[in-house]
Amino acid sequence: MNTRLLGKDLEVSAVGLGCMGFSHAYGAPTESKEAMRAIQAAFEMGYRFFDTAEIYGSAEDPHENEVLVGKALKPYRNHVKIASKFGIGFDKTDGRINHALIPNSTPSVIRASVEGSLRRLQTDHIDLYFQHRIDPNTPPEVVAEVMAELIKKGDITHWGISEANEEYIRRADAVCKVTAIENRYSMMARGYESLFPVLEELAIGFVAFSPMANGFLSGKYNHNSVFDQKFDYRSVMPQFSAEAQQQNQELLTMLKEMAEEKHATQAQISLAWMICKKPYLVPIPGTRKIERMLENLRAAEITLTQQEVQNLDDALEKMKMSEVFGGSKVLRKV
Residues designated as active site: 56
On whether the CB atoms of residues 178 and 7 are closer than 8 A, the answer is: yes
